[in-house]
Amino acid sequence: MKKLCVVMASIVTLTLVATTLYIVETSSNSIYHIFYLLLALLNTVILYVSMTTTESEEHQDYVTLEQIAFKDALTSLLNRRAVDNFIDKIIARCERDDSKFAILYLDMDNFKSINDTLGHDVGDSVLVGVAKRLRNLVRGNDVVGRVGGDEFVIILDEINESSLAFITAERVIQSFKKPLNVNGHRISVSFSIGISIYPDNGVYRLSLFKAADIAMYQAKENGKNGYKFYTNELDDRVKKSRAMNVALEQALVEEQFVLKYQPRVNFNNCTIQEAEALIRWNRPGKGLVAPSEFIPHAEKSHVILSIGAWVINEVCRQCRVFCEQNRPTQISMNISLMQLKDPDFVSVVKKAIDTHHIDATLIALEMSESYLMQEAEEVIPVLHKLRALGVKLAVDEFGKGYSSMGYMKRLPVDTIKIDKSLINEILINEKDKELVAAITALGHVMNMSVVAEGVEIDKHLQMSRLLHIDSAQGFYLAQPLEADELHAFYETCNEKIS
C-alpha cells in the first residue's frame, strides 16, 4: 500500500514539474510559475516523507521477521537456529582466545505425561514457566534456548573451570524441586541434563551437541532428574545401550519374545491351577535370553511399555486357550513400575481382557515389594482401578526389601509372594523361619494368600507347608515350562506334594 503511494506521489511530482516547465515556456504569467513550482515542491516533500516511512516500516518488518526466525514463539527464548548461530560465533571466539564454554542440554523427564494427563494448553504453560525459571537461573551473558518440544539448552560462555557447569546443573535440579504453578495446578517438573565442554569434548557445534546428548541419555538411564558430563567411555556405553533398544524394538516386531509358565501348587488342592508367566527372548544367534539380561535395560526406556503390553496380551490369549481346553488357569505376570505409572496402563489391561473374552479374575499382576513401598502414594489409586476390573494383585519378592505396615494395610492386594532368599534360609536360619511364619500370619490376617517362591528341595516344600503357607513354586516342583506342558505337570504333581 505504502509502495503504491510512493509510485502515485512520484507520478504526480513528475507531472507537476513537466507542467511547470511547459507553462514557463508558453506563459509569461509568473504567478502560475510560482504556484506550480510550490505544488511540485510540496509533492516532493510528500514523496520524501512517504519514502522514509516506507523504509522504516520495511525495517520494522525485517526486525519482526528476524525475531520470528530467531526466537521461540512460545517461550521467547532463542530458538534452535539462533542457538546454532550463537554457538558458531563463540566457537570462533574461543578458538582465537583459547577459552572454554559449556553446553548444558536439558531434556524434561515427564513432559509427555503432563501433556497426556493435563492437556496441551497446560503443557504449553509449563514450557513458558520452565523458560522463565531457567532464564532467572543463569548469568546475564549466558544464553538459554529451546531447541525442541521439551528440550532446552543453556550455553555458559567464558568458563574457566567446568565447575561452573556443574554449579549451574545443580542449580537447575535444585530449582525444579519446587513445583511450577500453572493455571491452578502444581506441576512437578524435572530434567536430565547432559554437559559438554568446548574444546575438551569437541571443537565443532555438532560434535558438542552429540556429546551433550550422549551425556543426557546417560543421565536419563541413571534414573533421571540429574546431570552427567560427557566422557569417552560414556560414548561407548550409550552406543551399546541404544543398539540394545533398537534390538528390543526389533524383537517385538519380529515376535522373538516367548513366555514360559512356572506352575504354582496349592498345598490343599492340587487341582487349583496357577502359573507365573516369565518372559524369554529368543534372540537370533544367542538362544533363549533370560529376563535379567534385558528387562532391567528395557525398564530404563519406554521399550518396557511395549514389551509389557505384549506380555499382557499374550497372557490373556493363552488364558483363553486354556479356557477353551476346559482347563481354566490363573496366570500371573510381572509388571514393571513404569507400566504402573503409565496413564494408559489400566486401559491396556482392560483391552487385552476384553479382546480375548476372559474372566478378569484369571489374571494376576505381580509387583515388586521394593517399588510398591517406595511409590505407594502414586500407585495405590492405579491398583484400585485394576482391582475394579477384577484382576488379582500380588506383592512379589516380599521380604527382599523393606515394607511399611502402614502401606501394607492400604495396598489392595490379594497375594504375598515370599522371596526365594527367605525361603532358602528357612531350614538353616531359625530367625528367617520365624520371619516367614510371621509374614504368613500377617498375610492371612489381611485376607491375603501367601506363596513361597524358590522352593528348590523337598524340605523347603515341607517346611512351607508346616508354616501354613498356601502355595509354592520353585525348581523342585517344576522349571518354567512351555504352555502345553503345564497341564501334564498338574496331572502328575500330586506325588510331589503328598
Residue 90 C-beta-side C-alpha neighbours within 13 Å:
23
> Contact between 399 and ligand C2E (CB under 6 A)?
no
The span from the CA of 432 to the CA of 430, in Å, is 5
Q: Which residues, numbered 356-375, are part of the site for Mg ion (CB under 5 A)?
A: 366
> Contact between 290 and ligand C2E (CB under 6 A)?
yes
> Contact between 440 and Mg ion (CB under 5 A)?
no
Q: Work out which of 262, 318, 330, 464 binds ligand C2E, going by CB under 6 A.
A: 262
Of 297, 421, 300, 415, which is closest to residue 367 (Cα–Cα)? 415
CB 233: neighbour CB atoms within 10 A? Answer: 7
Q: What is the DSSP letter of 294?
A: T
CB 10: neighbour CB atoms within 10 A? Answer: 15
- Hey, which residues does 367 pair with through a beta bridge? 335, 395
**Residue closer to ligand C2E (CB basis): 196 or 449:** 449
Q: Work out which of 20, 274, 454, 469 binds ligand C2E, going by CB under 6 A.
A: 454
Backbone angles phi, psi at 455, to 5 degrees: -75, 105
Give the three cell numbers for residue 342.
503409565
Of 420, 352, 361, 355, which is closest to residue 393 (Cα–Cα)? 361
> Contact between 318 and ligand C2E (CB under 6 A)?
no
Task: Write the DSSP string, 331-353.
Answer: EEEEE-HHHHH-TTHHHHHHHHH
> Contact between 373 and ligand C2E (CB under 6 A)?
no
**Residue closer to ligand C2E (CB basis): 187 or 413:** 413
Instruction: Name every residue whose Cβ is closer than 8 Å to that of residue 186 and which is 6 or more positions away in sequence.
Output: 179, 180
**Residue closer to Mg ion (CB basis): 40 or 472:** 472
Q: Which residues, numbered 192-251, are part of the site for ligand C2E (CB under 6 A)?
A: none
Helical segments of 138-266, H only: 163-175, 205-221, 232-253
Q: Which residues, numbered 302-361, are part of the site for Mg ion (CB under 5 A)?
A: 334
Q: Work out which of 396, 414, 419, 470 binds Mg ion, going by CB under 5 A.
A: 396
Query: Which span sits near ligand C2E by CB under 6 A: 77-85, 95-103, 284-292, 375-383?
Result: 284-292
> Is-cis flag, bond preceding 263, omega within 30?
no
Give the three cell numbers for residue 199.
574444546
CA 345 to chain centre: 15
Measured distance between the N- and C-terminal CA atoms of the chain, rounded to whole angstroms: 99
> Contact between 333 and ligand C2E (CB under 6 A)?
yes
When CB distances are held under 5 to 8 angstroms depending on the partner's kind, the choice from ligand C2E, Mg ion, none that residue 415 binds is none
Q: At what angle do helices 232-253 and 205-221 cross, to 10 degrees?
A: 70
Contact status, residue 157 vs residue 62, Cβ threshold 8 Å: no
Residue sitting closest to ligand C2E (CB): 474
> Contact between 287 and ligand C2E (CB under 6 A)?
no
- Interaction pattern, residues 222-241, with Mg ion; x per rule: CB under 5 A: --------------------
> Contact between 330 and ligand C2E (CB under 6 A)?
no
> Contact between 396 and ligand C2E (CB under 6 A)?
yes
Q: What is the DSSP letter of 483?
A: G
- Interaction pattern, residues 127-166, with Mg ion; x per rule: CB under 5 A: ----------------------------------------
What are the CA-CA distances from residue 351 to residues 355, 365, 385, 392 (Å)?
A: 6, 15, 14, 16
Q: Work out which of 199, 291, 328, 401 binds ligand C2E, going by CB under 6 A.
A: 291
- Interaction pattern, residues 335-364, with ligand C2E; x per rule: CB under 6 A: -x----------------------------
Closest distance to ligand C2E from the beta carbon of 162 (Å): 38
> Contact between 328 and ligand C2E (CB under 6 A)?
no
Instruction: Name every residue whose Cβ is closer than 8 Å to that of residue 9 and which is 6 or more positions away in sequence.
Output: 43, 46, 47, 50
> Contact between 292 and ligand C2E (CB under 6 A)?
yes
Q: Work out which of 32, 267, 407, 475 binds ligand C2E, going by CB under 6 A.
A: 475
Closest distance to Mg ion from the beta carbon of 408 (Å): 18
Count of residues that bind ligand C2E according to CB under 6 A: 21
> Contact between 168 and ligand C2E (CB under 6 A)?
no
Count of residues that bind Mg ion according to CB under 5 A: 3
CA angle 157–162–167, rounded 5-degree value = 90
Q: Work out which of 211, 295, 382, 497 binds ligand C2E, going by CB under 6 A.
A: 295
Chain residues that interact with Mg ion, rule: CB under 5 A: 334, 366, 396
Residues that bind ligand C2E (CB under 6 A): 262, 278-279, 290-292, 295, 311, 333-334, 336, 366, 396-397, 420, 454-456, 474-475, 480
